[in-house]
Amino acid sequence: MVGGGQGAFIGGVHRYASRLDGRWELVAGALSSNAQRAADSAAELGIAPDRSYANFNAMAVAEAARADGIDAVSIVTPNHMHAAPTIAFLNAGISVICDKPLCASLDEAAEIATAIKASRAHFILTHNYTGYPLMRQARQMIARGDLGKIRVVQAEYAQDWLSGALETEGNKQAVWRTDPAKSGGGGAIGDIGTHALNLLTFVTGLDATALSADLHSFGKGRQVDDNAHIMLRLDGGAKAMLWASQVAVGNENGLRLRIYGDKGGFEWGQENPNAMTFTPLGAPKQIITRGGAGLGGGAGDWTRIPPGHPEGYLEGFATIYNDAADLIGGKGDGALLPGIDAGLQGMWFIDACIRSSRDGGAWVSR
C-alpha cells in the first residue's frame, strides 16, 4: 500500500475490504510521506520493518527485485499523488489498484495510459459502487433489454459534510479535498461526481459524449466547487442529469440512480443498497432485493450473506479486490472492473465541467 497511514480514512477502507474474502495480505507499504509516520503506521499494521519504505520509488524497486515481492500495490493517496506511484509500479511490472479519481490532470492521465500500455501489469480503479450486487444486476438486465432503449438517466450524489468550513478547522480530509493543488481542479465533481458518472455509464453501458455544467462554491473562500448541476448527452441519444453536492444539509451519502427506457425503469439508492425498484411499462412496480428470490444468478453471483442482512460499502470495495485477485491471478477477464477507460472518462468529466462552467454552461464534447 502507498498512503493510508495514521490519520487516513480511505486506506483503512481498502485494507478491510481487501481482507474480507481472504484473497489479499498486506505485507509491504510506503504509508506516509513522513518517514517516522510511515514506520509507525507499518508497525501498527504488522508490516515487517524491512518492508516498510520511506518512499514509493524505493518500494517499487525493492519489491520488484524480491522473489516474494508483492502481487499488487494499492494506492490510496490524495489525488495529486496517484500518477507518480502508479507509473513507478507499472514500470516495475507490479499491478496497481488505485483509488479514484485517476489522478489530478489530463496530462497525468495520458502519462498513466502510456505506462499501462507499456507494462505487463494490470491497472484497476476502485469505483467501488460498481461492485454492488444490484448495480451489476441492473447492468445485466439493461444489457438483456429489460428496459428497452435508454432514454433518461438521473444520477445524484448529495452529501452535507462540507456545509461548514471544515478545511479551516484542521479536518484532514477537508483540507486536501478543498486544495486544488492536491485534489486537482475539481471539488465535488472529482470527489463524488466521478462516482455518479461512473455508475451511470457502468450500469447503462452508455458513455457520456458531451456535457454542460454549472459549478459553484458556497463555502466562503473555497477554491473548488462544492455543488454542481450537469446535463449530459449519452451514446444513442439518451439524456442525463447529474447533481453532485457536498453542501446539501441533511444528506449523508445520498448516491442515487434512476434509469428510464422505453420498456421500463430502475430506481436505486446507495443508503439502502439491498433493494431496487423495477417497473415494466404498464405493469406494477417490483422490488428486487439483493440475493432475493427469482434472480437466479445475477446479483446472487456477487452476494456474500443471506437476503435481509445488510451488505454495502465495504463489500462493494471487497468485490473489486476479489475480481482484481482473479484478474491478476489469471483466473478472470476483469470485464466488470473499472480500469483506465473509466479513469480517462472521469478525468475528461472533471476538465469538461470546469471548462463548461467557466464558459457559462457551454456544451463541451468528448
- Residue span of the structural domain in which 172 resides: 132-307+339-358
Tell me the pLDDT tens digit for each residue of 198-223: 999 999 999 999 999 999 999 999 99
Residues 63 and 106 in one domain: yes
Tell me the pLDDT tens digit for each residue of 40-84: 999 999 999 999 999 999 999 999 999 999 999 999 999 999 999
CA distance 225 to 360: 15
Residues 161 and 182 in one domain: yes
| Domain presence at residue 219 | yes
- The answer to whether the Cα torsion of 110, 115, 118, 122 is positive or negative is negative
- Residue 134's pLDDT is what? 96
Average pLDDT value for residue range 99-120: 97
Given a cut of 80, whether residue 362 has pLDDT beyond it is yes
Residues 56 and 162 in one domain: no
Given a cut of 70, whether residue 224 has pLDDT beyond it is yes
Q: Tell me the CATH number at 151.
A: 3.30.360.10
Q: What are phi and psi of 265, to 5 degrees?
A: -145, 155
CA distance 168 to 221: 10
Given a cut of 80, whether residue 294 has pLDDT beyond it is no
| Domain presence at residue 319 | no
Given a cut of 80, whether residue 295 has pLDDT beyond it is no
Residues 84 and 42 in one domain: yes
- Residue 109's pLDDT is what? 98
Number of domains forming the structure of the chain: 2
| Domain presence at residue 44 | yes
| Domain presence at residue 316 | no
Place 292 in a pLDDT band, splitting at 50, 70 and 90. confident
CA distance 279 to 267: 9
Residues 220 and 349 in one domain: yes
- Residue 296's pLDDT is what? 62
Give the strands of the sheet with 227-234, arranged side by side.
286-289, 275-280, 264-269, 254-261, 150-158, 239-245, 227-234, 208-216, 364-365
SS (H, E, C) 276-334: EEEEECCCCCEEEECCCCCCCCHHHHHCCCCCCCCCCHHHHHHHHHHHHHHHHCCCCCC
Residues 58 and 195 in one domain: no
Boundary of a domain, candidates 92, 121, 150: 121
Q: Tell me the CATH number at 71.
A: 3.40.50.720
Tell me the pLDDT tens digit for each residue of 232-243: 999 999 999 999
Residues 167 and 25 in one domain: no
Boundary of a domain, candidates 121, 151, 184: 121
Average pLDDT value for residue range 165-193: 95
- Residue 194's pLDDT is what? 98
- In the numeric block, which cell numbers belong to residue 207? 458513455
| Domain presence at residue 126 | no
CA distance 261 to 93: 43
What pTM value is reported for the model?
A: 0.95
- Residue 149's pLDDT is what? 98
| Domain presence at residue 116 | yes
Mean model confidence pLDDT for the chain: 96
Residues 102 and 177 in one domain: no
| Domain presence at residue 317 | no
CA distance 243 to 32: 34
Given a cut of 80, whether residue 297 has pLDDT beyond it is no
